[in-house]
Amino acid sequence: MSRKILGLVVVGAMLAAAATLGACRDTGKDGEGRLFEISGKLVVFNYRLARATFVVTLRPLQPMGEGQVAVASFQNPAGGEPLIVEQKVWPKLGKVSLESPALSCVARDRPYAISISIKDIHGAILQKIDTTLMSTQDQSVLPDRPLVIDQLYTPNPELAGHPDGKRPGAPRHDCSKAG
């Protein structure tokens, strides 16, 4: 991998790490009976894979029960229906990570709503957490195509001659419905 591409990958990782954390509101009663709290949230710009995702990490405040599920509803930056992710809660793990599907139309300094429900084995809601997430960058920092095509980091032949990952005339996402 060339130094320029490696440098761009490092910059992409730094941008992801610097993504802004939004305000958080937990709908629990003054902390009583809360099962989880948000321990981290960010917009991940994976420069190598040319994709953006939202990631929220929950830290358990009490022992987790068997069969619990975390359901996250992420506001879709491109507009339209929210993106729903369901993640099993593993009682022996120290955290629960919720990651959105790949996103398009992420805009800088725009808050995106996230609603998380913790459900028991029967589907009853045990806790709701509402929060927002904001990025310090927009999606234009990503290349048009993934820089590599496999686990061996083989350079993407579609980007030959374009080490920045931007191809002239490449189609762009339609963000006209973004809210």
Q: Which domains does the chain have, with CATH numbers?
A: 3-159 (2.60.40.10)
- Across the chain, which has 179 residues, the per-10-residue mean pLDDT values are 44 41 40 86 93 97 93 96 96 93 95 97 96 94 89 88 81 75
Residue with tokens 């191809």: 167
Q: Nearest-5° angle of CA 117, CA 71, CA 38?
A: 65
| 105, 175 Cβ separation under 8 angstroms | yes
Amino acid 109: pLDDT = 96
Query: What local confidence, expressed as pLDDT, does residue 23 receive?
Result: 34
**What pLDDT was estimated at residue 44?**
96
Q: Note the pTM of the prediction, 2 decimals.
A: 0.77
Q: What share of the chain is helix, strand, coil (3-state, %, to 5)?
A: 10, 35, 50
Backbone phi and psi for residue 168, each to the nearest 5 degrees, phi listed first: -60, 135
Tokens standing for 154? Answer: 């083989």
pLDDT given for residue 32 in this prediction: 60
